[in-house]
């Protein structure tokens, strides 16, 4: 996958009002092409936020992590596709049947029109070995992530959401064309937060990440535009 840095950097719109959406999109649209819309924002504002981003010339990563019975997730996926989002995700723990159902339903609904990239969420980047054991998943995490990524590919998904720590092994096992999107990106001087499995921008890109999601390092910077520029410059330097 050959993309320029602007196409690969995704800004996490972790806000809760349309006013904030308009401010951030207006501020960053010349530097960032894709904006992540998650549960907080979509619950607060609904599909209007997608329209705002599209009207500003941006693209949307709809990060709602669908996880339900196959029919329900398939219908949700079709609605997401009709919104015109560039990509959305589902939980791989929903199983192969669920992932296959959403893939087939979206392909049928889109026909010859542009199809959204469908990604499978593996293990959340906030979880460590202790956390996955508490919910009954036996580690090590990297092995579990690789297994879930394999199920996603078997089901016909385009790629997975995984921590940057697992990207290299996913690419090696499932192929360079299998998309990897990585949250948990932090700058070298970022303060600790609720993410456990993280890397810097350069480390993630060199590991093979196709897309990276950055939120707080840009949003909490004194100069968010300059922070975005520095991230893009670091991406540009990576082989």
Smallest CA-to-CA distance from 80 within 55, 104, 110 is with 110
Q: Which long-range contacts (CB under 8 A, 24 or more apart) does 192-197 make?
A: 194/126, 195/125, 195/126, 196/125, 196/126, 196/127, 196/128, 196/131, 197/125, 197/127, 197/128, 197/141, 197/163, 197/164, 197/165
**48 catalytic, yes or no?**
no
CB atoms closer than 10 angstroms to residue 125: 24
End-to-end CA distance of the chain: 13
| Catalytic member of 29, 48, 65, 104 | 65
Residue 60 phi/psi, 5-degree rounding, is -125, 130
Q: List the catalytic residues.
A: 65
């Amino acid at each position: 996958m050959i993309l320029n840095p602007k196409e690969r950097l995704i800004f996490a719109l972790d806000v809760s009002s349309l006013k904030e959406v308009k401010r951030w999109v207006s501020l960053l649209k010349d530097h960032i092409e894709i904006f992540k819309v998650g549960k907080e924002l979509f619950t607060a504002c609904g599909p209007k936020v997608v329209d705002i981003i599209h009207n500003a010339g941006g693209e949307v990563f709809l990060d709602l992590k669908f996880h339900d019975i196959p029919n329900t997730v398939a219908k949700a996926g079709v609605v997401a596709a009709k919104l015109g989002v560039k990509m959305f995700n589902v939980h791989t723990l929903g199983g192969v049947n669920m992932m296959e159902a959403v893939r087939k339903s979206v392909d049928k609904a889109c026909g010859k029109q542009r199809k959204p990239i469908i990604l499978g969420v593996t293990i959340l980047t906030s979880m460590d070995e202790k956390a996955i054991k508490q919910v009954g998943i036996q580690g090590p995490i990297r092995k579990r992530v690789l297994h879930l990524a394999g199920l996603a590919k078997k089901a016909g998904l385009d790629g997975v959401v995984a921590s940057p720590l697992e990207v290299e092994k996913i690419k090696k096992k499932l192929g360079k064309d299998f998309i990897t999107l990585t949250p948990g990106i932090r700058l070298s001087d970022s303060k600790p937060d609720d993410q456990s499995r993280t890397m810097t921008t350069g480390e993630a890109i060199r590991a093979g990440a196709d897309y990276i999601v950055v939120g707080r390092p840009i949003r909490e910077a004194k100069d968010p535009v300059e922070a975005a520029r520095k991230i893009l410059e670091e991406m540009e330097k990576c082989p």
